[in-house]
Structure 1
Amino acid sequence: MDLTAVPLVALRVFQEVAERGSLSAAATALGYTQSAVTRQIAALERVVRAPLFDRQRDGVQLTDTGHVLLRHAGLVLVQLDAASRELSGLPATAGTVRLGWFTSAGGTLVPSALAALRRSHPALTVTTRDGTTASLVRALRARTVDIAVLASEPPFPPLDDETPALRTKVLDERELLLAVPSMHPLAHKDFITVADLRGWAWIAGPPGFGVWPGLDERVVVAHVARDWLAKLQLVASGAGITTLPEPLATLVPHGVQVIRVRSRERQRVVVAWLNLSEPASVVVDALVSGTHP
């Protein structure tokens, strides 16, 4: 087996498919046709003499061989990007850091960190993308993002069971609140309990974020929206209720009432990475400073 002749484009295509979990999604992200992506993966599989993905009806999953190749391919591509920065004569803290963030982190945490970085490290470029925590964990493994701001809920299990383990640093623990229409029957209660939440229609984002954790009933999700502003506008229209991370409470539109639930739920926000370059460590420091001034 000789991997030295494998084109870099094939490794990048493989990396994208591993992250997206789908040949068609990877093709869309890269601007390729699906047949071109399929050919690149087939060429890699001929070199390693084993399947890299298990094909399933709803996408693809890495095989054991695929996991091994992804780990090494990611390192190769990271090192090549670092070499490009060094050959360009950029300072150690210059270059580009790819930051992923779960949706509600875009309300306050990420923008404030980026503003601080523009002042303190003008040579550093940070590109960002949002996603679910699960999709961003896959992106970290595929090394298509360098660091990611992620959310977890009690009992705060590991982000995944892959090796090596993802490195994490806790940024914040915050209370989960409830957002209801201003004219909703719950809106003017001094406090509510989890029992009060039964029987209402919910506005949630995939995969179910927006529904109060641990409800002992089959909930009705009336609307699905990943964007927090869209969810809150739906609440304001009377379409349902949703959960709300505490930092976003000051951003609710007219027509929404924010309520605390007596059985308080906590959400932990962490920043995670596999390998931390010097530019990426600067971004981590800015995120930490933004939550622990």
Structure 2
Amino acid sequence: MDFTDVSLTALRVLRAVAEQGTFTAAAASLGYTQSAVSRQIAAIERAAGTELLERRRDGARLTPAGRVVMRRAAIVLDEIDATARELSGLPEQTGTVRLGWMPSAGAVLLPRTLAALRASDPGLEVVTREGGTPALVRALRAGSLDLALLASAPPFRAPDAESPPLVLRTLVERPLLLALPTGHPLAHGAYVDVADLRGQRWIAAPSSGEDKLMGVWPGLDERPEIAHTARDWLAKLQLVAAGCGLTTVSASLVAAAPPGVRILPVRGGPQEQRRLLLARLPGPPSQAVTRVAAALRATALDAEAPVEPA
């Protein structure tokens, strides 16, 4: 085992594959060809004397040896980036936390937390990135994120089966809600019966191989009619306000609802609870990570608007 000739490029490629989950996606993110990515991975695996990535049908995942290398590589790459900043004349960043967040957190929770941290910890820098749960979990495993905000639905399984398990903390748990145009016939009561959702038009996120179709009420006993697709939650709510259809929302989005939208609970069928999780790798967190986690917990509790009484 000899790492003396391992290049920084190979370390960055390994991190990209661990984050993106496939050689193809890693190549696209780096602007490389897939064969160039494969060569870099082969070189670093030769130096390690073992496989660092498990090739599966659904992509590539770090092996136990790969996690060891990636943990150390993340430190090296972070130090190189800090050196580049210092040499370019920028002040050294102290207390930087890399935070990943799922899309629904961007409307209320994230901006409120960052505003609170600017007031309480002006020297603390938070660098953020949006992503779906699978992508954020891979970024945590690759050492590219310190914390990640994840959504979880019943039966509330762990977001991945890798070892060691991620440290997960539930920030809030609230029922899934329904957003309707104020002029919709179902918007005039204190709640919506799940049986009345048959035949409705829905506004949902476009589905992908990893991320589920978000916006349609779960468990409908019919093929839903998707009238519009949008990834951005605020765009979905604006489409609801325009009378284009219905969509589901978490309780944290109630405060972001524009005029023309009424948000109600749904009765009947299984209780559709949703959890907001804060995830990190095991091990003692830095003081900066602890401060950001505390701010997220406080803001999440404040941002949870009460559901209209039924």
One fold, TM greater than 0.5? yes
8 Å CA contact retained: 2:101, 2:150: yes
1:108-164 CA-to-partner distances (Å, cap 9, x unmatched) read 211121112222222221111111122211221122211101111223222221110
2:89 maps to 1:80: no
8 Å CA contact retained: 1:166, 1:272: yes
8 Å CA contact retained: 1:179, 1:257: yes
Number of aligned residue pairs: 285
Displacement of 1:60: 2.5
1:71 matched residue in structure 2: 67
8 Å CA contact retained: 1:16, 1:144: no
Q: Please give the alpha-carbon distance, in whole angstroms, between the structure 1 residues aligned to 2:26 and 2:219.
A: 34
2:243 maps to 1:238: yes
8 Å CA contact retained: 2:147, 2:289: yes
Q: Please give the alpha-carbon distance, in whole angstroms, between the structure 2 residues aligned to 1:30 and 1:166.
A: 27
Cα RMSD over matched residues?
2.8
State the one-letter code of the partner of 1:243: T
State the one-letter code of the partner of 2:108: T
Give unpaired runs (5+ residues) of structure 2. Answer: 87-92, 303-310
2:287 maps to 1:278: yes
From the superposition, tell whether residues 120 and 191 of structure 1 become closer, same or farther in structure 2 (CA, over 3 Å): closer
State the one-letter code of the partner of 1:287: L
Within the candidate set 231, 249, 253, 1:248 is matched to: 253
2:228 maps to 1:219: no
Q: TM-score, normalised by structure 1?
A: 0.85
From the superposition, tell whether residues 110 and 231 of structure 1 become closer, same or farther in structure 2 (CA, over 3 Å): same
Q: TM-score, normalised by structure 2?
A: 0.81
From the superposition, tell whether residues 132 and 250 of structure 1 become closer, same or farther in structure 2 (CA, over 3 Å): same
From the superposition, tell whether residues 248 and 50 of structure 1 become closer, same or farther in structure 2 (CA, over 3 Å): closer
Q: Which one is further off, 200-209 or 130-139? A: 200-209
- Aligned counterparts, 1:186-225, within 5 A: 186-205=186-205, 206=207, 207-225=212-230
1:106 matched residue in structure 2: 106
- Aligned counterparts, 1:1-293, within 5 A: 1-47=1-47, 48=49, 50=51, 52-54=53-55, 56=57, 60-62=59-61, 66-80=62-76, 94-205=94-205, 206=207, 207-263=212-268, 264-274=271-281, 275=283, 276-292=285-301
Displacement of 1:53: 4.6
Q: Please give the alpha-carbon distance, in whole angstroms, between the structure 2 residues aligned to 1:85 and 1:51.
A: 23
Q: Which one is further off, 267-276 or 179-188? A: 179-188
From the superposition, tell whether residues 180 and 125 of structure 1 become closer, same or farther in structure 2 (CA, over 3 Å): same
Q: Please give the alpha-carbon distance, in whole angstroms, between the structure 2 residues aligned to 1:190 and 1:121.
A: 42
Give the fraction of aligned pairs with identical amino acids, expressed as a percent.
50
Q: Please give the alpha-carbon distance, in whole angstroms, between the structure 2 residues aligned to 1:55 and 1:167.
A: 25
Q: Please give the alpha-carbon distance, in whole angstroms, between the structure 1 residues aligned to 2:44 and 2:122.
A: 39
